[in-house]
Structure 1
Amino acid sequence: MNGTDEERLLALAQAWADAIVANDVRAIGRYMTDDWVLVDQDGIGTREKFLSLVASGDLTHEMMRTVEGTARVRVYGDTAVLTARVVNTAHYRGQAFHADEWTTDVYLRTPTGWLCTHSHVTPAA
C-alpha cells in the first residue's frame, strides 16, 4: 500500500471529523461527493439531509474521535476504504447522545483529491 495515500486519508478523516465537531456545513460538505450516503440503523441518509440537519442546528457534535489503534486504510487504485471505531457526543433535536460505532468510509480519488462517497456506521458492542 502507498503510505502517502494512507497518511492523506487518515488526515482527511480527522479534518472531516473536525469540521463535523465545528458544525461547519460548508467545511463538512467539502469532504463528500454530491451523492454521498450514510447507512445506519435508520436506513440510508443523504448528503442533503445530513447537511440540512447541521445547518438548522438540529444536529450538533461536541466531540468525535477515532479510538487509537483501530483505523485501517486500504487503497484499491482510485478507491479507498477506511474502517475505524469512532466515539462521539452530539445533540439531535435537543436530545444528547453518545455514540460508540464502527465506521466504514469509502473514498474516491478525484481530480481535486479524495472525497467520501459512502459511510456506514454500526454500533459497537
Structure 2
Amino acid sequence: MSPKDAVLRAALERSAALVKGDREALERLLHPNFTYINAGGARMNLEEYLQTYVSLGDMRWEQQELDQVQIEFYGDTAVLTARLHDRATHQGRVFEAYFQTTQVYVHTPQGWRCVAAQTTQAPQE
C-alpha cells in the first residue's frame, strides 16, 4: 500500500470510528498528543475530544464523508486537506453541514496516527 493510500485509509477509518462512536478505535487512530480545533474555535486534547464527540452522547454522527482530498508529505508527516460532509445529531437536534478540514498524520510504529486536526465551515457553493 502506498503512503498516500495508507494515510487516506487512516482518515477514513477515523471517520468511520467517529460515526460508530468507537472510542477504542479512535484511541488507536489518534496520537496521544492529539489536538483538535472545532469549527466553533474550541481547542481540545485527546481526552476532551473523545469525551465531547463520543463519551458524553450529546453528539452522534450519522455520516461523515470526505471528498476533495489532498495529501502532501513532509518526511514522516502527512497533511491531509478535504471537504467534510457531516450529518449528525447534537443535543437532539439534527444538523447537516459541509466543513473544510486539515488533518496532520505522523508515521509511528503503530501506523499513521492523526496528531492534529482543525475543522472550519466550508464556503457555500
Query: TM-score, normalising length from structure 1?
Result: 0.90
Match of 1:66 in 2: 66
Indicate whether 1:113 and 2:111 are aligned: yes
2:33 paired residue among 18, 35, 40: 35
How many residues align? The count is: 121
- The CA distance in 1 between the partners of 2:28 and 2:96, in whole Å, is 25
Stretches of structure 2 that go unaligned for 5 or more consecutive residues are none
Please provide the CA RMSD for this pair: 1.4
Shift of 1:48: 0.8
Stretches of structure 1 that go unaligned for 5 or more consecutive residues are none
Match of 1:96 in 2: 94
Shift of 1:37: 1.1
Q: Percent identity?
A: 31
Query: TM-score, normalising length from structure 2?
Result: 0.90
Deviating beyond 3 angstroms after TM superposition, the runs of 4 or more aligned structure 1 residues are: none
Q: Deviations over 1:58-107 (max 9, x none)?
A: 2210001012xx10001111111000001111122222222211100001
Secondary structure, aligned partner of 1:71:
strand
- The CA distance in 2 between the partners of 1:94 and 1:85, in whole Å, is 25
